[in-house]
């Protein structure tokens, strides 16, 4: 609020009469200067004195109530670990590793990690902490690109809808594991066909395994094509409902409650991974699986698909671009060392992926030994690894129901903490943008969104629901739409807001400038990588398939519309803002890329000039007439 617009208030938006005293606006030389007062009275940006802290404590609550923060920094670290370590670490990384040359895949993976994974992870949590806002409101630093925030909001909503499905499947497997004999160990169940053979060493074009039939004929009751949707599987509808209720109660009370939940949800999978690791490496044939997992095939490095898989796996496993990391970082205190936290979480994330490979392939090596086949013939990609191949391996272990309970409870927990952190990103972005209408009714808003998401998700628990799931999996919040968003996100901050200015903002928070490598990545390497992979995906576009079934054109068109529902937010909002902004084309563009700082931002001292050699500009002109400065010092200018 401007002093001129409201003559009864001083630069902090509080009148002298309300406080019972006036605050003289004097600079360090004793001269009255409103700009120095607003910008910290000559102090370094980001520093605070006792008066400022008292004024902040006395400030009226913003619309919708005060914004929460983490109770402790360790809450933030555990939340990031739980969010980043998801289902992709358990089944996708090991599969990609053996598919693309075993140990040789680790080289492009490591390069992608240094160029894209860690830099973007650090970028998102840092900008969230700097502004203490969600993924939509942060774009006041460059309003022209606010469409990136809307795109992330749409994408995270779609992701929340379909990401719960593997958890619903895992919960159904978990329930069926509480028995003396796993239902996928034999062919004596009501859903088994005449072609079912429990002997895994039999391999022909006719026989099917009990594991495959449990997945296709019991869990999914899969139809032949997407047009045959069939009826709703009430078992999956029930487990999906349980998952949504669990997610709701994990986040409904805010981040302080969520910070306590993640202690369990993020650590439990590690306990189970360690237990399954020691069980796996002691099995006969485990060494063969581990060798197959790690043995390098350097000839594969010349294949562009290997590098593409490495980049997409980094983006997939780190969960960047959706606004969730921005939301998690926004609940930090301003002085938190987000740089250190980002490096720690990144190392834990990739280390977990590597460790999960030993857990998976030691067990698959044992399965290959029992079947007298090569490891390559017992593995499957995607959901098939977690819900077909690995259950078959568990069925051959002693006390198989116990190990099955361990494994599927781990899958459920791994998905759960990633899910409710993604939900936190969605709700934070919405409530920060419209706090007056949403923050005070947070529990109701979260509940309504969960109900809507559940009913949309029912389309994936029909007999043909797996076909719908694959459309969402491939188009809604991954692939080209995610790359498109991340390109504009890094470009907007690095080139329009200014990477040097952002680096100095980080210095305000942590007290020193990070290594220059991250700046190089944000300015050039990440945008170029996103652009290159985006173009490669368009050139190599292939029709969507599932188990040799090729989707019809209308289904692929629906998937493309899902992708465009988020992508079009970026150019659409740019066009809208340029049209409604007054002035010439140049003036409009200049206004749209100029940060829209609030008085609260100036009070904190966080606005900085784009060029470090320029003087910080406040909401007032630099040289005030003596009479005006005196009037301000006495409590407010005389009304005109």
* Binding-site entries for Na(+): 82, 84, 89, 317, 349, 417-418
Binding residues are 82, 84, 89, 317, 349, 417-418
**DSSP per-residue letters across 361-403:** HHHHHHHHHHHTS-GGGT---THHIIIIIHHHHHHTSTTHHHH
Angstrom CA distances, 141 to 221, 284, 456, 595, stand at 50, 58, 35, 4
CA 606 to chain CA centroid, Å, is 26
Q: Residues of 47-65 as b/e, b for ≥16 C-beta within 10 angstroms? A: ebeeebeebeeeeeeeebe
DSSP character at residue 68: P
Say whether 10 sits in a helix, a strand or coil: coil
The C-alpha atoms of residue 75 and residue 258 are separated, in whole angstroms, by: 8
The C-alpha atoms of residue 139 and residue 58 are separated, in whole angstroms, by: 28
Burial class (CB in 10 A: 0-12, 13-18, 19+), 281: middle
* Residue (of 576, 605, 608) closest to 497 by Cα position: 608
The C-alpha atoms of residue 213 and residue 388 are separated, in whole angstroms, by: 9
* Residue (of 353, 364, 387) closest to 291 by Cα position: 364
Neighbours of 352 (CB within 10 A): 22
Whether 93 contacts 352, CB under 8 Å: no
Whether 208 contacts 196, CB under 8 Å: yes
Q: Residues of 10-43 as b/e, b for ≥16 C-beta within 10 angstroms? A: bbbbeebeeeeeebebeeeeeebbbbbbbbbbee
Whether 273 contacts 410, CB under 8 Å: yes
């Amino acid at each position: 609020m401007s002093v001129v617009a409201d003559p009864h208030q001083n630069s902090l938006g509080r009148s002298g009469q309300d406080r019972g005293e006036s605050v003289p606006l004097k600079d360090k030389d004793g001269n009255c200067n409103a700009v120095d007062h607003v910008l910290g009275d000559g102090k370094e940006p980001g520093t605070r004195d006792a008066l400022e802290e008292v004024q902040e404590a006395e400030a009226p609550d913003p619309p919708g109530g005060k914004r929460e923060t983490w109770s402790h920094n360790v809450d933030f670290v555990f939340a990031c670990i739980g969010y980043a370590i998801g289902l992709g670490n358990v089944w996708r990384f090991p599969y990609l590793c053996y598919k693309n040359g075993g140990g040789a895949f680790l080289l492009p993976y490591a390069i992608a990690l240094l160029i894209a994974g860690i830099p973007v992870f650090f970028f998102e949590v840092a900008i969230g902490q700097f502004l203490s806002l969600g993924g939509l409101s942060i774009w006041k630093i460059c309003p022209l690109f606010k469409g990136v925030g809307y795109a992330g909001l749409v994408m995270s909503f779609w992701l929340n809808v379909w990401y719960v499905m593997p958890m619903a499947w895992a919960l159904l497997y978990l329930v069926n594991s509480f028995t003396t004999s796993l239902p996928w160990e034999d062919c004596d169940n009501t859903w088994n066909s005449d072609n079912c053979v429990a002997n895994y060493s039999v391999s022909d074009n006719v026989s099917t395994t009990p594991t495959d039939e449990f997945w296709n004929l019991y869990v999914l009751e899969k139809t032949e094509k997407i047009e045959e949707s069939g009826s709703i599987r009430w078992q999956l509808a029930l487990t999906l409902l349980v998952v949504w209720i669990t997610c709701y109660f994990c986040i409904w009370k805010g981040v302080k409650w969520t910070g306590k939940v993640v202690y369990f949800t993020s650590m439990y999978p590690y306990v189970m991974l360690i237990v399954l690791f020691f069980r796996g490496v002691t099995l006969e044939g485990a060494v063969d699986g581990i060798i197959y997992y790690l043995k390098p095939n350097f000839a594969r490095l010349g294949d562009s698909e290997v590098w593409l898989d490495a980049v997409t796996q980094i983006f997939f496993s780190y969960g960047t671009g959706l606004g969730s990391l921005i939301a998690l970082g926004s609940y930090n205190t301003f002085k938190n060392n987000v740089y250190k936290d980002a490096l720690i979480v990144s190392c834990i994330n990739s280390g977990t992926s590597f460790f999960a490979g030993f857990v998976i392939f030691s067990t698959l090596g044992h399965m290959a030994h029992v079947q007298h086949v090569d490891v390559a013939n017992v593995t499957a990609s995607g959901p098939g690894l977690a819900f077909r191949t690995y259950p078959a391996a568990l069925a051959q272990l002693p006390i198989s129901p116990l190990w099955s309970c361990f494994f599927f409870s781990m899958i459920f927990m791994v998905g759960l903490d990633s899910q409710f952190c993604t939900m936190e990103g969605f709700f934070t972005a919405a409530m920060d943008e419209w706090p007056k209408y949403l923050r005070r009714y947070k529990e109701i808003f979260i509940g309504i969104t969960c109900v809507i998401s559940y009913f949309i998700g029912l389309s994936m628990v029909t007999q043909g629901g797996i076909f719908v799931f694959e459309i969402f999996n491939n188009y809604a919040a991954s692939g080209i739409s995610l790359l498109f968003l991340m390109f504009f996100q890094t470009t907007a901050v690095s080139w329009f807001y200014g990477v040097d200015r952002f680096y100095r903002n980080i210095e305000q928070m942590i007290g020193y400038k990070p290594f220059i490598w991250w700046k190089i990545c944000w300015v050039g390497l990440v945008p170029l990588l996103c652009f290159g992979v985006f173009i490669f995906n368009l050139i190599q576009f292939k029709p969507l398939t599932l188990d040799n079934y090729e989707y019809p054109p209308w289904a692929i068109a629906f998937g493309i519309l899902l992708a465009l529902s988020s992508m079009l937010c970026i150019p659409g909002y740019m066009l809208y803002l340029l049209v409604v902004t007054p002035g010439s084309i140049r003036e409009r563009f200049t206004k749209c890329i100029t940060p829209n700082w609030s008085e609260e931002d100036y009070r904190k001292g966080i606005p900085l000039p784009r060029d470090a050699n320029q003087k910080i500009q406040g909401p007032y002109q630099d040289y005030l007439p003596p009479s005006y400065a005196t009037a301000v010092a006495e409590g407010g200018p005389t009304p005109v």
